[in-house]
Structure 1
């Protein structure tokens, strides 16, 4: 099992989550939708304020009606007063009572046979009304609605707060009561000219019915929205959470070292961010698998390349113990020295090749004048002396200094390797021509030699590690086979490309073409 890696936090403040990061994505989706539902459920608070406004309006209306009834009754006497009171009670739907100054009942519309205000007995109502009352009590408790006092009959008029308020000098008074079935009862009183008081009583059952109807409609809407919200939450959880879990499981298997066995789902039918994430993870796993394969192949190639000089070195060392001939011993020592130099060169190139990708990923690119760099390389070569009379020539047709962004030392290594390769294949007194020119937004640098050229079937393989096509006259082991591979890695790390072509002038030789993006001059 692969070890657990304690990686540094890379999520910035815009990605960091505090307490919500500990909750699964499915629950967070449900929670967000439930919060929206709770906001919709706030409509019940609105219904309470709606009921309060209706009750206040009916209280004001009851006060006005009591005043008008009192003024109308004060204009008549005797039987005409009784008839007028009954007609007004029937028209307004209220119970009408007249009290004298001592609080005694002078007239009661119910006693006269008009029973238009009858309070319902909750014990005799159906189950649906009981459920409605229970729901009323629950909602009133939740919203904190004020609870009116329970309505009870009184024989002494002065025990009614409305009558007492009018007798104390207030022109109109009204009170809201609660019937046994939780419907509002509104009483209102007004003074008469003879010192008496008229009081009206009405059971505003229609207010409760209106509020219950609106609450029922809101409940239906809330229920429907809840069902839709839950279904949408489950749909989002299915379309978001499930593929993320599959990707997470695949990533864990890759981390545990089973990359070759893992097939990361690419989700080709999805064109959203999750589909992009799936394809990015799949490409990443493929790249990781390719990197692992390349590392394994590189290790195998290193083993193979190291065994040859080691075998030769072992044979030479073993021979030194038994050979007495000085000339033969000198030849064996020369072989030992060559093998040691070969291994030293091979280890140096292997070390550079193995670290090159990581170093390039951390390198800080700076502007590099490629023409000046190549001229400096050629001057150094000429100063050290060039064997076999080979000539070096550089030609730049760029109107301005060809500047690229890169690491100068690495780019120098590219052209050192290309010049070394050209020197190896060039004939005596041959010409190596280097040309630089700008093509669109790229700097193109060509290195031409007059050697035998590269066979077409080998033009890609020569850039692989430990793959090379060497001149027949060259002594074995003079090159590690990593020079062109290192050159390609460096060029591609600078977002460029390197290929080998035939010379367009149809002369013998190879042409290596390097393309690098030019630096933005703005």
Structure 2
């Protein structure tokens, strides 16, 4: 047996990217091939729909609150401009009118404009009050039969102010309105008077009345002696407008909540109904009462429910295939074990009736062969049954297939024994590391290479060659084992991977091969997300090519 190393030349082939798939194409694909992303076609994802239903109410509430706050600020800002303009105009009128007419002028303007007008002297004493010299043009609301609704409205006002973060507004104390002309404490109740005196122009402030209606006060200097005019307006219409707008928004919010409830029920129905349907199908599959239970794939749904349905359908199909494969495997095992057992039984029974020592020795040797065959069958059957379970627990590590192949050819294997008998040569053509490195279980991949090399050696003629080559195919690694044997007919290229299939050369003794080697090799390769196929030789010569394709090691 000879082992040599050569340097091949290979060309990496580019792979074409698949065309864009539709939702229907996606639905028809197995669940493991469905990418973990959502297609924005006719359906939105469940996350989007749930968020939309839940965020809708919050967004409407937040938008309504900020709208009310902005609306109220705009109304108050307009009244501020009006109050400043009014107090300056009235102050100019007082400055031009004789002092004897001030009281009548203030009473008339206050009644017409619904203002309370007061003048203060330089020393801060109250001089004239339109509510004293004339009839009050407004009064603050007091408790009435509708006190509960008023308290609810005030509570809602405070709640809205808190939610939007409105700055605190000082209260308007009724004590400041007592008609005491000689009360020296009246002026300090209104700091805007001092601000107006210092600024020399009108100034405006906002307060809240006991019923939380806005009280807008404006002050402006007007006389040569340092007199100051103060106007007070109870802008209750602002509160009424804001509360009316809030009532409208509450109605809209109630309608939105109703719509949200309907949407939630519809969304729940679109989620719950298919889930119940899938649960019932899964229960029937679990109970095993109906083998032909069809788990719906829901191809019209491109969301997570559809992905779940297709995954369950594929899982059910895979389970059925596993069950069928297990039943077939058990039947094959029974059949394969019966043959050597029957032969062993026949040999032992015949020995009882034969006295010829030579014939008895032949029968005893045959019995030993049958025992070895049974032992080999049991060992390989155990290996075949454990492949999937062991791969599911295995930890994949970087594996160099080139070093693995050299190790197999350098060891004492069935291939080496056959090679010595037939004078075979074994070659491993060198290749770049990128064409030999994969992620996998080293022991299992070594078993694959050993099985393929043993298979190639068993079919090779005397003086034949077994060559292992490597090639890089895009993001895959290809390893081929080529022999000089008779090859495999195209119609048998899948059958040779079936369990217990054995089509050996005529010069080999019956029972030396279990027919499980290639089946085990393919199971291991598939457990590594790869493929194992048999091909014909490209050079037209007689022989077979066993091709393994595995995902290449990601350098990252």
The verdict on a shared fold, with TM-score over 0.5 as the criterion, is yes
Describe the shift of the 1:188–1:480 C-alpha distance in structure 2 as closer, same or farther (beyond 3 A): closer
Q: Do the aligned residues in 1 keep the contact of 2:129 with 2:179 (CA within 8 Å)? A: no
Tell me if 1:482 matches 2:516.
Answer: yes
How far off its partner does 1:350 sit? Answer: 0.8
Q: Which residue pairs with 2:531 in the alignment?
A: 497
Tell me, in whole angstroms, the C-alpha distance in 1 between the residues paired with 2:497 and 2:389.
19
Q: Do the aligned residues in 1 keep the contact of 2:405 with 2:449 (CA within 8 Å)? A: no
Q: Which residue pairs with 2:99 in the alignment?
A: 76
Tell me if 1:431 matches 2:459.
Answer: no
Tell me, in whole angstroms, the C-alpha distance in 1 between the residues paired with 2:150 and 2:205.
25
Q: Do the aligned residues in 1 keep the contact of 2:405 with 2:446 (CA within 8 Å)? A: no
Q: Do the aligned residues in 2 keep the contact of 1:162 with 1:175 (CA within 8 Å)? A: no
Q: Which residue pairs with 2:329 in the alignment?
A: 298
Tell me if 1:447 matches 2:518.
Answer: no
Tell me, in whole angstroms, the C-alpha distance in 2 between the residues paired with 1:241 and 1:234.
10
Q: Do the aligned residues in 2 keep the contact of 1:368 with 1:404 (CA within 8 Å)? A: yes
Q: Do the aligned residues in 2 keep the contact of 1:66 with 1:188 (CA within 8 Å)? A: no
Tell me if 1:466 matches 2:475.
Answer: no
How far off its partner does 1:465 sit? Answer: 0.7
Q: Which residue pairs with 2:154 in the alignment?
A: 137
Tell me, in whole angstroms, the C-alpha distance in 1 between the residues paired with 2:141 and 2:471.
99
After superposition, the C-alpha distances for 1:500-520 in whole angstroms (9 at most, x for unaligned) are 34456666x541332345856
Tell me, in whole angstroms, the C-alpha distance in 2 between the residues paired with 1:194 and 1:378.
120
Q: Which residue pairs with 1:19 in the alignment?
A: none
Describe the shift of the 1:187–1:69 C-alpha distance in structure 2 as closer, same or farther (beyond 3 A): farther
How far off its partner does 1:432 sit? Answer: 4.5
How far off its partner does 1:341 sit? Answer: 0.8
C-alpha RMSD over aligned residues: 5.3
Q: Do the aligned residues in 2 keep the contact of 1:176 with 1:185 (CA within 8 Å)? A: yes
Q: Which residue pairs with 2:389 in the alignment?
A: 358
Describe the shift of the 1:65–1:187 C-alpha distance in structure 2 as closer, same or farther (beyond 3 A): farther
After superposition, the C-alpha distances for 1:11-61 in whole angstroms (9 at most, x for unaligned) are xxxxxxxxxxxxx99998765555445533543566677777778778877
Tell me if 1:417 matches 2:451.
Answer: yes
TM-score by length of 2: 0.65
The answer to which of 356-365 and 45-54 deviates more is: 45-54
Provide the aligned length of Structure 1 versus Structure 2: 483
Q: Which residue pairs with 2:377 in the alignment?
A: 346
Paired residues for 1:24-173 under 5 Å: 33-40=56-63, 42-43=65-66, 71=95, 75-77=98-100, 80-81=101-102, 83-89=104-110, 92-94=113-115, 116-117=137-138, 133=150, 136-142=153-159, 143=161, 162=186
Tell me, in whole angstroms, the C-alpha distance in 1 between the residues paired with 2:285 and 2:516.
30
Q: Which residue pairs with 1:13 in the alignment?
A: none
Unaligned residue ranges in structure 2 (runs of 5+): 1-46, 163-167, 198-203
Q: Do the aligned residues in 1 keep the contact of 2:406 with 2:428 (CA within 8 Å)? A: no
Q: Do the aligned residues in 1 keep the contact of 2:536 with 2:544 (CA within 8 Å)? A: yes
Tell me, in whole angstroms, the C-alpha distance in 2 between the residues paired with 1:521 and 1:264.
37
Tell me, in whole angstroms, the C-alpha distance in 2 between the residues paired with 1:433 and 1:63.
110
The answer to which of 434-443 and 191-200 deviates more is: 191-200
Q: Which residue pairs with 1:392 in the alignment?
A: 424
How far off its partner does 1:312 sit? Answer: 3.5
TM-score by length of 1: 0.68
After superposition, the C-alpha distances for 1:320-363 in whole angstroms (9 at most, x for unaligned) are 66766655544443343222111100011111111223334414
After superposition, the C-alpha distances for 1:269-328 in whole angstroms (9 at most, x for unaligned) are 333455444434433332233223222221222222223333343444455667666555
How far off its partner does 1:379 sit? Answer: 8.3
How far off its partner does 1:475 sit? Answer: 3.7
Tell me, in whole angstroms, the C-alpha distance in 2 between the residues paired with 1:188 and 1:446.
100
**Structure 1 counterpart of 2:402, from 369, 376, 383:** 369
How far off its partner does 1:422 sit? Answer: 4.4
Tell me, in whole angstroms, the C-alpha distance in 2 between the residues paired with 1:413 and 1:252.
40
SS in 1 for 2:99: coil
